[in-house]
Structure 1
Amino acid sequence: MATTMNLGKTELMETAKAAMLTEVPTTQWTDRQKIALTCRALFDAGHDSGLAGQISARGTRPGTFLTQRLGLGFDEITEGNLLLVDEDLEVIEGSGMANPANRFHSWIYRARPDVNCIVHTHPLHAAALSMLEIPLQVSQMDTAPLYDDCAFLPDWPGVPVGNEEGEIISTALGDKRAILLAHHGQLVVGATVEEACSMAHLIERAARLQLLAMAAGEIKPLPPRLAKEAHDWTLTPRRSEANFAYYARKALRSHPDAIDRH
């Protein structure tokens, strides 16, 4: 006999959150492995744009972060060819150089101690939407993690290799998890690599949905209370871990070389 049919939605949500902690398995990856898998997963999801875009994760030493080597595409990143760099982009571990555009990562990490991963890419639909100089509109349940959590930079500051661009982008991002950069692309941040990877997939989907909806008519807004509820429900750490595990499994089927076999 059913025992939960008379429970309220809030109680059911809390029960489900508690069950996820014990019933949803997680995989233990190193940060290097997570970045490599994120690069491969986002490559497969259409986030590649030649050598443009950077993915980074805060290092264990203050003022450092892991990122990919300039000259390698997302489909070529492995845990072994990542670089550890400092805020000046000087290489501490690894060979080669970081993308000079990684400079604005240093600014974001300084401004946001809660951020441990940054994903910046130029995927097709987010880049196309950025050309219209309009903000991202979140009006569909799947993209609710971005609701009231995506900033907009309406003015293109140019190639982001200077400190001024780092200051502009980090200030425009503010306390949000994402930002659409006009005439540029997208940037998401996360408390974990798993969260940032999930948000990067979602912002490209949201941009694609927005372009399709705009072509058909006027986009209607979500009810704020329900949108906030969906935002919080879908952004629990365990859900981000489960999302990432799925993306990682998909990536490994196509790119088993992303992880070094010891």
Structure 2
Amino acid sequence: MGKTLTLPKDLLVKQALNQMQQTLADNTWTDRQKLALTCRILFENGHDSGLAGQITARGPHPGTYYTQQLGLGFDEISAGNLLLVNEDLEVLEGHGMPNPANRFHSWVYRARPDVNCIIHTHPTHVSALSMLEVPLQISHMDLCPLYDDCAFLEGWPGVPVGNEEGELIAGALGNKRAVLLSHHGQLSTGASIEEACVIAQLIERAARLQLLAMAAGEIKPIQPELGREAHDWIARPKRHTAAFNYYARQNLRRHADCLN
């Protein structure tokens, strides 16, 4: 006779969360290694757009962050060729130059002390959706970490190399995890590198599903209370780390050099 078949849902959720906390493994990679892994993961999952896009994580001192060199694709990033820069994009460690568009990351970091990693990319389906000037619609359980957690910037400010764009994008993001940028791409954030990577993966999948659903008919909304419940169930640090670890294992079979 089963012991849990008559338990209420809230108790089963609590038990499952406790078990996840005790069972799901963390990882021991450095921030540089996790950033390099993130670049390779995103490259393999549709986020590659030549030299466009930036991935950053806060550095060891306030006002500093790690980022990739301009001129290298995501599939070429390794722990050893990342740059450490300051808010003025001056290189403190490493060789080469950062992407000048990294300037708006400084504005996001200043506005959001809870954010430790920012991923800005132009993946295919996000970019296609951005051309329609419509917000991201979250109407599937798997996508619910973005439920009421993805902002929308309808007006395109042009190339984001000025301080004006930094203020605009940081303001549009507000207190949410991600923002869809019309005629541009996406920005995902996380309290950890793992979380930002998973959110970036998710927003591209969400855009792809939205385009498929829009082509077939009218997207039906989910009930807000259920969307919020699923958001809080999935969007947890342990689950983000477990998902990141899975993506990393997949990609280390082809990209083991990124850890060097």
TM-score by length of 2: 0.99
Alpha-carbon shift at residue 27 of structure 1 (Å)? 1.6
d(CA) in 1 for partners of 2:167, 2:156: 13
Matched, 1:103 2:92: no
Q: After superposition, what is the alpha-carbon deviation per residue over 1:226-249, rounded to whole angstroms, capped at 9, x for unaligned?
A: 100000110111000000000111
SS at match of 1:183: coil
Root mean square deviation, CA, Å: 0.6
The residue type paired with residue 245 of structure 1 is: N
Counterpart Cα distance in 1 of 2:170 and 2:27? 32
The match for 1:40 is 40
- The answer to whether the aligner puts 1:156 opposite 2:117 as a matched pair is no
- Per-residue Cα deviation, 1:88-118 (whole angstroms, up to 9, x for no partner): 0000000001000000000000000000000
Provide the C-alpha distance between the structure 2 equivalents of 1:113 and 1:41, rounded to a whole number of angstroms: 26
What are the superposed Cα offsets for residues 9-63 of structure 1, whole Å, 9 maximum, x if unpaired?
Answer: 1111111111111111222111100100000000000100000000000112000
1:14 partner letter: K
CA distance in 2: counterparts of 1:88 and 1:67, whole angstroms: 13
1:80 partner SS: helix
1:8 Cα deviation (Å)?
A: 1.0
**Alignment pair present for 1:77 and 2:74:** no
| Paired AA for residue 184 in structure 2 | H
Runs of 5+ unmatched residues, structure 1: none
Aligned mates of 2:192, 2:46 — CA distance in 1 = 22
| Number of the residue aligned with 2:234 | 234
Alignment-derived partner of residue 91 in structure 2: 91
Distance 2:69 2:14 in 1: 43
Q: State how many pairs are aligned.
A: 260
Alignment-derived partner of residue 254 in structure 2: 254
Match of 1:196 in 2: 196
Q: Which runs of 5+ in 2 are unaligned?
A: none
Deviation digits for residues 136-184 of structure 1, max 9, x if unmatched? Answer: 0000111000000000000000000000000000000000000000000
Q: Distance between the aligned counterparts of 1:161 and 1:36, measured in 2?
A: 24
Q: Give the % identical residues.
A: 68
SS at match of 2:252: helix
Deviation (angstroms), 1:218:
0.3
TM-score calculated relative to the size of structure 1: 0.98
- SS class of match (2:235): coil
User: Post-superposition, which runs of at least 4 consecutive aligned residues in structure 1 deviate over 3 A?
Assistant: none
SS in 1 for 2:80: coil
Cα deviation for residue 254 of structure 1 reads: 1.2
